[in-house]
Amino acid sequence: MSKDLGHDEERYRRYRALLAPGTPLREGLERIRAGHTGALIVLGTNPVVEQVSTGGFTVNTDFTPTALRELAKMDGGIVVDDDLTTIISAGVHFSPSASLPTVETGTRHRTADRVALQSNVPVVTVSAAMSVIALFMAGLRYPIESSEQILVRAEQAVATLSRYRERLDSVTRELSGLEMDDLVTVGDLVQAVQPLAMVRRLAEELEGHVEALGVDGRLLQLQMYELTQGIDQLATLLELDYRDAGAERFTLDVLRHLPTGDLLDPVTVASAIGLTSADLDTHLRAHGYRIVSQSAQMSTTTAGRLLEHFGSLQAVFAASGSELAAVPGVGTARARAIRDGLARISDSVSSR
Ligand SMILES: Nc1ncnc2c1ncn2[C@@H]1O[C@H](COP(=O)(O)OP(=O)(O)OP(=O)(O)O)[C@@H](O)[C@H]1O
């Protein structure tokens, strides 16, 4: 089955977090898996769940991993309340409509799929034969993988992300050099936004892994944090710098939804982000917010004031310390910091 989450994404994410390592539910499921007994657990109740339930007995006990494991030894399924704090019943036989479609083969899994579909309540299973945990939700089956399985994919994503991050840092440095000389073209800007979009895309994928890993995802979360530092700010600054370059407001948000194949094509990217000319050689003028605000950790408002005062990024570079200090809100100390910062940026660009 496909993993296309569509409008169920938020719900899926909630259950993925509830099923992550370290949660009581996951702990109970892991105990069941280790015991090879198997289980079918309905994660909530409503009139349809009640209607398809027969037999079993009422438990109404606090949800604990041990209680879940003990009750799973019985034949039949378990019903827990919506917020997973109480085990309502155990040993329940479910009789969902046999006409509902399912591609599952065993009776436990066919039942789980159909109960989830008919009641719109998620169902989780542990297969006794296969030792796998699965979540059934709205006609889809989501495998709940072990941390080791997820980490293999996560490590590949981290490696790709760090390559794109390196590329992004290198092209933004090149872009700075071109901005200083007022030589930027559409192609140069596109070269910077492509790795930026890829970094964001990979970070989203990693966020999913971090959520699914629960307590096992802490290290990954730190790596992701480091590799994506300053990304949103960079996007905002690029949008400010090239806001006049597009037919409408220049925004990088559209790239989130562009298929990866299209993201690799410069002309498609140029027109997707609304650049007036998709001709990659067309000259673009950067306002200079990124370079000026990063020179001395200043807000875009202050950077904007400087740029407006001097008229261009090049004029800010050419300004003397006293000229900078004379701009309202700058002052002598900050003027020195700006001069030092601009010199540093200039050096880092020319040392490459
Ligand atoms: N309709 C049902 N309601 C509740 N529990 C059920 C139902 N059908 C099957 N089960 C539970 O599933 C158990 C195993 O069934 P079966 O082996 O046919 O399923 P399966 O999908 O192949 O699962 P497994 O991979 O665990 O063997 C049953 O002993 C029973 O406890």
* CATH number, residue 52: 3.40.1700.10
* Ligand 1 midpoint to CA 13 (Å): 26
Atom 9, ligand 1: which residue's CA is nearest? 108
My answer on whether 153 and 139 are in the same domain is no
Confidence of residue 215 (pLDDT cuts 50, 70, 90): very high
Q: Of 124, 144, 164, which residue is a domain's last?
A: 144
Domain boundary among 120, 144, 168: 144
- 75 CB-contact burial (10 Å; exposed 0-12 / middle 13-18 / buried 19+): exposed
pLDDT band at 350 (very low <50, low <70, confident <90, very high): confident
32 with 91, same domain?
Answer: yes
Q: Are 182 and 250 contained in the same domain?
A: yes
Q: What is the pLDDT of residue 248?
A: 67
Distance from residue 108's CA to the centre of ligand 1 (Å) = 3
14: in domain: yes
Q: Does any domain span residue 277?
A: no
Task: Tell how far the Cα of 149 is from the centroid of ligand 1, in angstroms.
Answer: 26
The pLDDT tens digits of the residues spanning 270-312 come to: 988 888 666 899 999 999 999 999 999 899 999 999 999 999 9
Q: Is residue 281 part of a domain?
A: no
Q: Which of 107, 110, 117, 118 to mutate to test the pocket of ligand 1 (most atoms within 8 A of CB)?
A: 107
Residue nearest to atom 7 of ligand 1 (CA): 108
Same domain, 130 and 155: no
Task: Establish if 284 belongs to a structural domain.
Answer: no
Residue 55 CA, ligand 1 centroid: distance in Å: 15
Q: Whose CA is nearest to atom 1 of ligand 1?
A: 94
State the distance from the centre of ligand 1 to the C-alpha of 38, rounded, in angstroms: 8
272-277: long-range contacts (C-beta < 8 A, 24 or more apart)? 273/190, 273/193, 273/246, 274/246, 274/247, 274/248, 274/249, 274/250, 275/186, 275/189, 275/190, 275/245, 275/246, 275/247, 275/250, 276/245, 276/246, 276/247, 277/186
pLDDT for res 329: 84
Residues 18 and 132 in one domain: yes
Ligand 1 pocket mutation, candidates 42, 49, 108, 111, criterion most atoms within 8 A of CB: 108
308 and 216 within one domain: no
Ligand 1 atom closest to the CA of 104, numbered from 1: 21
Question: Do 244 and 323 sit in the same domain of this protein?
Answer: no
Helix (H, G, I), strand (E, B) or coil at 224: helix
Q: How far is the CA of 70 from the centre of ligand 1 (A)?
A: 17
Query: What is the C-alpha to C-alpha distance for residues 198 and 165, in angstroms, rounded to an integer?
Result: 9
How far is the centre of ligand 1, averaged over its atoms, from the C-alpha of 30 (Å)? 18
Do 259 and 306 belong to one domain? no
Q: Whose CA is nearest to atom 30 of ligand 1?
A: 76
Which atom belonging to ligand 1 lies closest to the Cα atom of 130? 25
The per-residue pLDDT for range 128-152, each reduced to its tens digit, is: 998 899 999 999 999 999 999 999 9
How far is residue 325's CA from residue 307's CA, in Å, rounded to a whole number? 14
**Statement to judge: residues 249 and 315 lie in one domain:** no
Give residue 25 CA to ligand 1 midpoint distance, Å: 20
Domains in the chain, number: 3
Give a yes or no: residue 128 inside a domain. Answer: yes
- Res 167: pLDDT: 97
- Does one domain contain both 294 and 346? yes
Q: What is the pLDDT of residue 251?
A: 84
- Ligand 1 pocket (Cβ < 6 Å) reads 38, 40, 75-77, 93-94, 106-109, 111, 127-130
Position in ligand 1 atom list of the atom nearest CA 74? 31
Residue 1: pLDDT band by 50, 70, 90 thresholds? Answer: very low
In this structure, the answer to whether residues 199 and 327 fall within a common structural domain is no
pLDDT the model gives residue 154: 96
Per residue in 43-101, pLDDT tens? 999 999 999 999 999 999 999 999 999 999 999 999 999 999 999 999 999 999 999 99
Is 0.90 topped by the overall pTM? no
Residue 151: predicted pLDDT: 95
Confidence of residue 3 (pLDDT cuts 50, 70, 90): very low
Q: Going by C-beta distance under 8 Å and a sequence separation of 6 or more, which residues neighbour residue 17?
A: 23, 211, 214
Task: Give the CA distances from residue 286 to residues 182, 250, 283, 349, in Å, rounded to whole numbers and listed in that order.
Answer: 7, 12, 10, 16
Residue nearest to atom 20 of ligand 1 (CA): 106
CA of residue 128 to ligand 1 center, whole Å: 9
- Measured in degrees and rounded to the nearest 5, phi and psi for residue 80 equal -115, 165
For the ranges 2-16, 28-42, 315-329, the lowest mean pLDDT is seen at 2-16
- The answer to whether residue 282 is domain-embedded is no
In a domain, 173, yes or no: yes
Answer whether residue 192 is part of any domain. yes
**Residue after which a domain boundary falls, among 272, 307, 329:** 272
Residue 38: the pLDDT is 95
pLDDT band at 243 (very low <50, low <70, confident <90, very high): confident
Nearest CA to ligand 1 atom 14: 108
Same domain, 155 and 242: yes
CA–CA separation, 145 vs 132, rounded Å?
8
Domain that holds residue 163: 149-272
- 122: tokens are 């998620």
CATH code, 298: 1.10.150.20
